[in-house]
Amino acid sequence: MTLNELEQYFETLGEKKFRARQVYEWIWQKHAHSFEAMTNLSKELRQRLLDNFSLPALGVDATQYSADGTIKSRFRTVDGHLVEGVLIPTDDRKTACVSSQIGCSLSCKFCATGYMERRRNLDYDEIYDEVVLIHQQSERVYEKKLSNIVFMGMGEPLLNYKNVLKAIERITSPDGLGMSPRRITVSTAGVAKMIRQLGDDKVKFKLALSLHAANDLKRNEIMPINETNNIKALIDALNYFYQQTGNEITLEYILFKDFNDSRQDADELVKVYRQIPADLVNIIEYNPITQALFAKPDDDAVEKFMDHLEKNRVNARLRRSRGKDIDAACGQLANKE
* Strands 71-76 and 59-65, sheet pairing: antiparallel
Q: How far is CA 150 from CA 49, 87, 94, 100, 162, in A?
A: 34, 10, 11, 11, 17
Closest CA to 247 of 278, 281, 282, 212: 278
- Which contacts qualify for 218-227: CB closer than 8 Å, 24 or more apart? 218/259, 218/260, 218/265, 221/109, 222/108, 222/109, 222/110, 222/256, 222/259, 223/106, 223/108, 223/109, 223/189, 223/190, 224/106, 224/107, 224/108, 225/106, 225/108, 225/189, 225/190, 225/191, 226/190
Strand partners, 287: none
How far is 108 from 15, CA to CA, in rounded Å? 53
Q: How buried is residue 274: exposed, middle or buried, by Cβ count under 10 Å (0-12/13-18/19+)?
A: exposed
Residue 120 host element (H or E): strand 120-121
* Strands 184-188 and 148-151, sheet pairing: parallel
* Strands 148-151 and 94-97, sheet pairing: parallel
SS3 46: helix
How far is 149 from 146, CA to CA, in rounded Å? 8
How far is 309 from 249, CA to CA, in rounded Å? 17
Query: Could you give the residue numbers annotated as active site?
Result: 84, 330
How far is 289 from 93, CA to CA, in rounded Å? 27
**DSSP-derived secondary structure letter, 183:** G
